[in-house]
Amino acid sequence: MKAHDQASSLFWLLVSIYASIESIQMGVGALQKPGMGFITFGTSVLLGILSLALFVQTTLKRDHAKTEPLFAGKLWKRVLLVLVALLIYAKLMPMAGYIVSTFFLMSFLFWIVKGQKWWWVLISSFLTTLITYYVFSVWLKGQLPEGLLGF
């Protein structure tokens, strides 16, 4: 855990440095008339101090235990694939429409866990897409994108 805490504290330190610089550029103002960067500057400085404190605290800790890897095993690849699929879906849905894009996304998500028969994957994806479209678009009158194909 030691290495993880050191890494995360350095990450937050970088965030705080960036936010502090941005806040100064926005204008911190004076105590009588605080500017728009006033609270963000104070917050980011505090974040920086606490990040440093975490870094020092972790570094000084006498922890000789071996740091467990963050992404053990092979299943993190599945996480990565799902994330990529979600990002593609988010980008494509307005163009391809809800029904088409959701059918492909659901097929992928049902398929990614091994052991599913292809016909089961296709039928489940089709039904899920249709039912959710009916509930959210027709019944609840939500505005799901129709896409270039018109559905």
Residue window 26-45: x/- pattern of binding to other proteins, with contact defined by CB under 8 A: x---xxxxx-xxxxx--xx-
The amino acid at residue 1 is M
Least distance CB 61 / other proteins (angstroms):
9
Give yes or no for residue 116 binding other proteins (CB under 8 A). yes
- If you write DSSP's letter for every residue of the chain in order, what string do you get? -HHHHHHHHHHHHHHHHHHHHHHHHH--B-SSSB-TTHHHHHHHHHHHHHHHHHHHHHHHS---SPPPPTT-SSTHHHHHHHHHHHHHHHHHHHHH-HHHHHHHHHHHHHHHSTT--HHHHHHHHHHHHHHHHIIIIIIS------TTTT-
Give yes or no for residue 146 binding other proteins (CB under 8 A). no
Give yes or no for residue 14 binding other proteins (CB under 8 A). no
Give yes or no for residue 147 binding other proteins (CB under 8 A). no
Give me the residues that bind other proteins (CB under 8 A), please. 1, 4-5, 7-8, 12, 15, 19, 22, 26, 30-34, 36-40, 43-44, 46-47, 50-51, 53-54, 57, 62, 70-71, 73, 75-76, 78-79, 82-83, 86-87, 89-91, 93-94, 102, 105-106, 109-110, 113, 116, 124, 128, 132, 136, 140-145
